[in-house]
């Protein structure tokens, strides 16, 4: 297939492109910096700066992973608007492209996030659970609603609510490791908040799974079937690094440093991938210990 990918040079997108290239797909990647993106992407990837530049290529599928990082810095009003615009404007442009093509794409796999559900304590969350009412939950709802407009053109739309993505050389672990390696890691706030997580390889595999299964549409929780609390995650990571984790970060300190963005760190949902498992998808790394062992064994190999 000819597959158009936004966010293709990012932490998730670059590995997805590699896997799709290995499967023989033709890759079309949107990047504002084609030269920099080319260094991260497989040979023969066609890279252009704008979505509409690919109208002539007639993409047969789309994967939408674009969006400014949520968990970086304080959320000023300008930052919150960038978070919205970077997702909604890109998604709207993809839907417009679907309407312009002689033959609409078969499917649009569009990113979303675990923040869709807001703060849910110990409640077990599936795709049927209602959305939260905080800023990130509302952002995810807008993002998903924009993607669903592609259904008007006969495009199958799958919405991927992504948990914390784990792998070496990027993502959340890259931000955590310096402190943990120095023995300065610790729980955030109470540590009781759930942290839905997924190994990057499993996330790539499930995106490919959704691309290839023509009957699968709607929302899918993209997280391992065994979510853990922040305290459990902290203990597992510290043990894997053979370091202590005895310096909790108080909730008040996080609120003072990050403002409203601290909600991302202090809240969570016990998210389960019910629809993926019912559809026959099998996780390679269902347990956190398995995932961390693979990641750190790979680093030292």
For position 141, which CATH number holds?
A: 3.40.50.720
Cβ atoms of residues 87 and 143 within 8 Å: yes
Beta bridge partners of 259: none
Torsion, CA 65, CA 88, CA 274, CA 127, rounded to 10: 170
Decide if 205 is inside a domain. Answer: yes
Q: Which two tokens stand for residue 50?
A: 């704008």
Model confidence over 104-115: pLDDT tens digits?
A: 999 999 999 999
Task: Judge whether 241 lies within some domain.
Answer: no
Residue 268's SS3 state is coil
Instruction: Identify the pLDDT of residue 299.
Output: 53
Domain membership flag for residue 219: yes
With respect to residue 262, please indicate whether it lies within any of the assigned structural domains: no
Distance CA 301, CA 297 (A): 6
CB atoms within 10 A of CB 83: 19
Tokens encoding 199:
């190994």
What are the CB-based long-range contacts (under 8 Å, 24+) for 145-149?
Answer: 146/87, 146/88, 146/91, 146/92, 146/95, 147/64, 147/91, 147/94, 147/95, 147/108, 147/110, 149/92, 149/95
Range of the domain at 212: 2-166+196-224+269-284
Please report the pLDDT score of residue 298 as a whole number: 66
Taking a C-beta distance cutoff of 8 angstroms, is the pair 158, 109 a contact?
yes
Total domains in the chain come to 1
* In-domain check, residue 71: yes
Each of the 301 residues of the chain gets a pLDDT tens digit; together they read 999 999 999 999 999 999 999 999 999 999 988 888 988 899 999 999 999 999 999 999 999 999 988 877 789 999 999 999 999 999 999 999 999 999 999 999 999 999 999 999 999 999 999 999 999 999 999 999 999 999 999 999 999 999 999 998 888 888 889 889 988 889 999 999 999 999 999 999 999 999 999 999 999 999 999 999 999 999 999 999 999 888 889 999 888 888 999 898 899 999 999 999 999 999 999 999 999 999 998 654 4
- The torsion defined by the Cα of 89, 219, 207 and 11, in degrees rounded to 10, comes to 50
CA 113 to each of CA 94, 197, 298: distance values in angstroms, whole numbers, following the listed order: 19, 11, 27
Which DSSP category does 131 fall into?
Answer: P
For residue 229, tell me if it sits in a domain.
no
The reply to whether 55 falls in a domain is yes
Give the β-pairing of 228-229 and 194-195.
Answer: antiparallel
What's the predicted TM-score (pTM) here?
0.95
Q: What is the pLDDT at residue 102?
A: 92
What 3-state class would DSSP assign to 209? Answer: helix
CB-neighbour burial class of residue 215 (10 A; exposed 0-12, middle 13-18, buried 19+): exposed
* Per-residue model confidence as pLDDT tens digits over 150-207: 999 999 999 999 999 999 888 888 888 988 998 888 999 999 999 999 999 999 999 9
- Please tell me whether residue 40 adopts helix, strand or coil conformation: coil
pLDDT at position 301, please? 42
Q: Give the integer Cα–Cα distance in Å for 269 and 289.
A: 20
Burial of 39 (0-12, 13-18, 19+ CB in 10 A): exposed
Tell me which residue of 216, 219, 232, 212 sits closest to 287, measured CA to CA.
232
Distances (CA, A) of 29 to 12, 44, 112, 175: 13, 11, 19, 26
What are the structure tokens assigned to 29, written together? 């990647």
| 244 within domain boundaries | no
């Amino acid at each position: 297939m000819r597959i158009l990918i936004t966010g293709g040079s990012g932490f998730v997108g670059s590995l997805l492109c590699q896997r799709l290239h290995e499967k023989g797909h033709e890759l079309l990647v949107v990047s504002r910096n084609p030269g920099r993106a080319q260094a991260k992407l497989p040979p023969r990837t066609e890279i252009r700066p704008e979505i509409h530049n690919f109208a002539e290529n007639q993409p047969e599928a789309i994967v939408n992973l674009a969006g400014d990082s949520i968990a970086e810095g304080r959320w000023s009003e300008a930052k919150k608007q960038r978070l919205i615009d970077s997702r909604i404007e890109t998604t709207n442009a993809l839907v417009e492209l679907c309407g312009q093509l002689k033959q609409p794409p078969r499917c649009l796999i569009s990113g979303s996030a675990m923040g869709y559900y807001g703060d849910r304590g110990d409640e077990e969350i599936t795709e049927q659970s209602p959305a939260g009412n905080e800023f990130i939950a509302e952002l995810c709802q807008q993002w998903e609603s924009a993607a669903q407009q592609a259904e008007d053109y006969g495009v199958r739309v799958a919405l991927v609510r992504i948990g914390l993505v784990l792998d070496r050389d990027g993502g959340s672990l890259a931000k955590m490791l310096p402190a943990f390696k120095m023995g300065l890691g610790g729980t955030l706030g109470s540590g009781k908040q759930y942290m839905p997580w997924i190994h990057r390889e499993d996330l790539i595999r499930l995106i490919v799974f959704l691309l290839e299964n023509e009957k699968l549409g709607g929302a899918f929780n993209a997280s391992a079937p065994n979510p853990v609390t922040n305290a459990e995650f902290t203990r597992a990571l510290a043990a894997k690094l053979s370091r202590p984790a005895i310096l909790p970060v108080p909730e008040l300190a996080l609120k003072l440093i990050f403002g409203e963005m601290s909600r991302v760190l202090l809240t969570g949902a016990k998210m389960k991938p019910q629809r993926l498992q019912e559809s026959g998808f099998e996780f390679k790394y269902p347990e956190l210990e398995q995932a961390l062992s693979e990641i750190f064994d790979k680093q030292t190999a």
